[in-house]
Amino acid sequence: MKPYKKLSTIKAKIETARQRKDIKITHSVYDNSVQVEQRLSANSSIWLQVDDIQYPKDMQRRFPPHAFWGRMYALANTIRGIAQICDHQQTITHTINAKTKTGPGRRAEARKIFEIKQGNLLLRHIPSQAEIARLRKQIADLQGQQKQLIPQMRAENAEYLTQKKWDAEIQRRRDKQALTSGQFWHASRDAIKSYFNPPFDKNYLADTSARWRAALFLGCESVSYKTYGGNWGHRLSGTGRAYLCGIDDNGDEWGHIVHIYLSHDQYDNLELEATVEDAMSELFDVSTLLLDRCKRQGDLLFCPETIPNNITLSPQSGPWEVRESHTIDSDGLERNGAYFKSKNNITVTHTSHPTVTMPAGGYRLYTLRQIDAD
């Protein structure tokens, strides 16, 4: 096609093309000039209107996408490329000062030349009816391939949802078994939270311990912060209050509120990293370094320790009832306050807890220093 020389003719041709129903056309010329420079830009596009094939989303949200979805994306991109007949942008700059005597005239002429060139470029890309028919056939063939993928995508999603439902049922049975047996640490996080129902509006399950048969929940509050993009985000921050709870080996359920030390992040918010041992250290007033050596029976901890030189032990006549129903006994037992020792094995009995047996030696007794029952 020979280029048109008159701008009026070009504009009329473009306007006529805009009226077509089979294609969409955009064409704009912008003048962003300043005093010393003329700055012109043009944006032009021509595309076929295509009804996109609607297909199911990947329920598994895999990345990179599964083969079916990857193929579907590739076909969609190819279709968009075919439908986009023209997509053109151009910017030019002329050093023409608008304040000079000849400046306005030169600018008008330069703009006219630019518009003629850009208009002819657009008109050259307007497809014929035969070309549109050829493009539509290509698109129809590709969409036919897309339609063949849809049943496979649905089957993939159905299999995933069926397996997910079965996995959820298996987990529900495991949760039930774990909670029924008292070995709650084998249950899922959500099941543990629902079972113990910690007394905080917002809480976070920080840790569980099979050895101590305990779970630690941290009280939380929502903290707002600005992201790098300037938007507001929200995260959980600790409050310093925690809830240590569990199910004893005798089936008793218990819970204690405790204040524990939490580290701070770079914004001075309390972190959510703590262990069952951290809470027990506070509750029993014992170093976390000693807990590995301790044995527990209910509200009591027994830790092997060297008896200090300034502690004088006295013989214990008969069993020592430390607390109601908790009795320490040994042949040759000696004690003074929280310290005790024996040259023979030491047994700790309780009416409902299993008996604790400790080898001969020196020990210190630690007891709960505060009890805030749930």
Closest CA to 58 of 158, 144, 146, 166: 158
Query: What per-residue confidence (pLDDT) applies to 223?
Result: 86
Over range 318-347, report the average pLDDT: 93
In terms of pLDDT, which residue wins out, 140 or 226?
140
For the chain, what is the mean pLDDT? 92
- The Cα 65–Cα 76 span in angstroms is 14
Query: What per-residue confidence (pLDDT) applies to 251?
Result: 87
Domain range annotation of the chain:
7-149, 188-284, 288-367
Looking at the chain, the whole-number percentage of residues with pLDDT higher than 70 is 98
Q: Which amino acid is at 272?
A: L
Over range 116-128, report the average pLDDT: 94
Query: What per-residue confidence (pLDDT) applies to 374?
Result: 42
pLDDT tops 80 at residue 372: no
pTM (2 d.p.): 0.67
Quickly state the pLDDT bin for 370 (edges 50, 70, 90). Answer: low
Over range 262-269, report the average pLDDT: 84
**Which DSSP string corresponds to 217-276?**
EEEEEEEEEE-TTS-EEEEEEEEEEEEEEEE-TTS-EEEEEEE----B-TTS-B-----H
Quickly state the pLDDT bin for 323 (edges 50, 70, 90). Answer: confident
pLDDT tops 70 at residue 23: yes
Residue 54 gets which letter from DSSP? P
